[in-house]
């Protein structure tokens, strides 16, 4: 007689983690050629267009990620100071923590939190790839899909992210951000 066994599914990963994949390396090389302002505008725009709808799919009435995006734009326009923007960004990070158990929404909020943090430190923009691409992949394929398929979908999304950055990139940027990736 066979006993009932509980099948434990692997826990969904919270982010991509391989800094050495060709799609991450290619994006990092392009990021290193751009100013912090260009990177922040790209990250905020992409987050608002692609990632925020993933959050809203599950938490339509929770506006903390949108507030963080708005605050980053206001900081970029000189309307508010960094401490005011930072409080909204920290609220977005709190929304991500509270979305534990929903891998799509959690990764989306983390991506938005990292992208809006680019106004403080340019290297935060890579969070768009590590969290945002995973949110997109989970949304399209589900968290039960084989990791190879999820990673392929995320790699394709990173390609779209890179194309979006190339579209706004300043050729021969005279003031590229100095980024220490710490990886």
Residue 11 lies in a domain: no
* pLDDT of the residue at 183: 59
19 three-state secondary structure? coil
Please, are residues 36 and 177 in contact by the beta-carbon 8 Å criterion? yes
Instruction: Please report whether residue 181 resides in a domain.
Output: no
Q: What is the pLDDT of residue 8?
A: 38
Interatomic CA distance for residues 125 and 108, integer angstroms: 13
Mean pLDDT of 10-15: 71
pLDDT at 7 over 50: no
What mean pLDDT is reported for the chain?
A: 92
| Number of domains making up the chain | 1
8-state DSSP, 137: H
- Please check whether residue 1 lies inside any domain of the structure: no
- Candidates 32, 24, 29, 10; CA nearest to 131 is 24
Instruction: Tell me the pLDDT band of 165, cut-offs 50, 70 and 90.
Output: very high
Please check the confidence at residue 1 and state whether its pLDDT lies above 70.
Answer: no
Sign of the torsion formed by the C-alpha atoms of 136, 139, 140 and 145: positive
Q: What is the pTM of this model?
A: 0.91
Distance, in Å, from the CA atom of 23 to the CA atom of 6, rounded to the nearest integer, reads 37
Alpha carbon distance 16, 132 (integer Å): 9
Quick one: pLDDT band at residue 66, thresholds 50, 70, 90?
A: very high
Residue ranges making up the domain that contains 39: 22-168
Task: Please name the residue that has the structure tokens 């990791």.
Answer: 147
CA gap 164, 149 in Å, rounded:
23
Whether residue 13 is contained in a domain is answered as: no
pLDDT exceeding 90 applies to what percent of the chain? 86
In a domain, 179, yes or no: no
Question: Using an 8 Å Cβ cutoff, are 47 and 178 in contact?
Answer: no
């Amino acid at each position: 007689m066979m006993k009932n066994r509980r099948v434990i599914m692997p826990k969904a990963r919270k982010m991509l983690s391989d800094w050495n994949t060709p799609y991450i390396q290619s994006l990092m090389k392009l990021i290193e050629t751009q100013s912090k302002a260009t990177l922040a505008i790209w990250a905020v725009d992409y987050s608002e267009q692609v990632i925020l709808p993933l959050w809203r799919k599950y938490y339509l009435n929770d506006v903390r990620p949108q507030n963080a995006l708005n605050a980053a734009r206001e900081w970029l326009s000189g309307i508010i100071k960094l401490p005011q923007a930072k409080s909204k960004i920290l609220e977005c990070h709190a929304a991500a923590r509270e979305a534990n158990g929903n891998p799509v929404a959690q990764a989306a909020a983390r991506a938005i939190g990292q992208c809006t943090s680019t106004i403080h430190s340019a290297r935060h923009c890579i969070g768009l790839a590590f969290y945002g691409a995973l949110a997109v992949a989970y949304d399209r394929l589900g968290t039960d899909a084989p990791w190879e398929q999820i990673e392929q979908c995320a790699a394709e999304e990173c390609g779209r992210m890179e194309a979006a950055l190339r579209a706004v990139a300043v050729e021969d940027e005279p003031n590229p951000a100095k980024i220490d990736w710490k990886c």
